Amino acid sequence: MEACAFDSYLTQIAELTRNQCARVLALLKPAVDQGRTAAVIEAAVAPTLCCPRCQGKQLYRHGTRNGLQRFRCRACGRTFNSLTGTPLARLRHKEKWLDFSECMLDSRTVRKAAARVEVAKNTSLRWRHRFLKLTKADRTACINGIAEADETFLLESQKGARNLQRPARRRGGKASKRGISKEQVCILVARDRSGGTVDFVTGRGPVTVVQLKEHLGPVLAPDTLLVTDANQAYQAFARQQGISHEYVNVSAGEHTRGAVHVQNVSGYHSRFHKWLRRFNGVATRYLPNYLGWLWAIDQERIRSPEILLRTAIGVFNT
């Protein structure tokens, strides 16, 4: 709209009835919210923006679509926007993304988030896992100092799978065997005393030395003191890696010996189990996403919908 036409249009706003004002607001809200989302995304990506095909940095502006600036690469001609190549590319309804991020920070269920932002339940589920795909990778590369490591277990779940590889179990069912069996999925968590946390879904049954090497090997700094329970796999792992190791014999009633304890990681396990209950069972294949979700919100590490939106497109620590 021309500037002077717009000015005269604005003068009429003062004469709107209360009802008309509400209608104008309702009409403007999606555009305003889409603009907020786009602003967060474009500001996050701007410092590293380049062509997804050739990494070229010379870009032309090439119109806007769905609230996002499009660019055209001068070198190769590819057009793209700030979401190209991210898990959020081509998702619709950007005007709802910040509200949806808020639902994620509040750990709302699929159903409640869907009702809150007014999308279908399937959309709510799809968005959840798209938002978590990169957010779960927002980790410290290395854990240092005293590193507690311990496993926790969940009953394996093929929720949502089309072909069950075993007889169906009722929701919240119990394992048919006592103790840790192949029906249980092992989650390995390591946590240092500054709160740095890594987690791995190692597979069914107890954790093995090979799995410890594969997962913990690359993330433990060489001068780490590894603290665990008396599980012998850790002792063999530490010996083979040449890492200092202390353990508490929890099953014999020993819980702490000075700084030697696994209470931080146990606390994290309990928060995970307690938090997970609201979801009424999650599919094992999605467990890494749920672990990443807890890591995002635990002790308010991610505090705002804007930050969550940035981590969802892989922009961390800004």
Positions in the binding site for Zn ion (CB under 5 A): 51, 53-54, 56, 73, 75-76, 78
Q: Which is nearer to Zn ion, 73 or 276 (CB)?
A: 73
> 């065997």: which residue's tokens?
177
CB of 70 to Zn ion, least distance (A): 13
Q: Which is nearer to Zn ion, 56 or 205 (CB)?
A: 56
CB of 99 to Zn ion, least distance (A): 34
Q: How far apart are the C-alpha atoms of 255 and 79, rounded to whole Å?
A: 59
CB of 41 to Zn ion, least distance (A): 20
CB of 54 to Zn ion, least distance (A): 3
| Exposed/middle/buried for residue 80 (C-beta within 10 Å: 0-12, 13-18, 19+) | buried
Longest CA–CA span in the chain (Å) reads: 82
Q: Which is nearer to Zn ion, 74 or 303 (CB)?
A: 74
Q: What is the 3-state secondary structure (H, E, C) of 157-219?
A: CCCCCCCCCCCCCCCCCCCCCCCCCCCEEEEEEEEECCCCEEEEEEEECCCCHHHHHHHCCCC
Q: Which is nearer to Zn ion, 62 or 213 (CB)?
A: 62
User: In 3D, which of 139, 119, 66, 84 has the Cα closest to residue 301?
Assistant: 139
Q: Which is nearer to Zn ion, 73 or 190 (CB)?
A: 73
CB of 77 to Zn ion, least distance (A): 7
Per-residue tokens: 83: 């979401």
Report the run of H or E that residue 153 belongs to, with start and end. Answer: strand 146-155
Q: How far apart are the C-alpha atoms of 8 and 13, rounded to whole Å?
A: 9
CB of 230 to Zn ion, least distance (A): 56
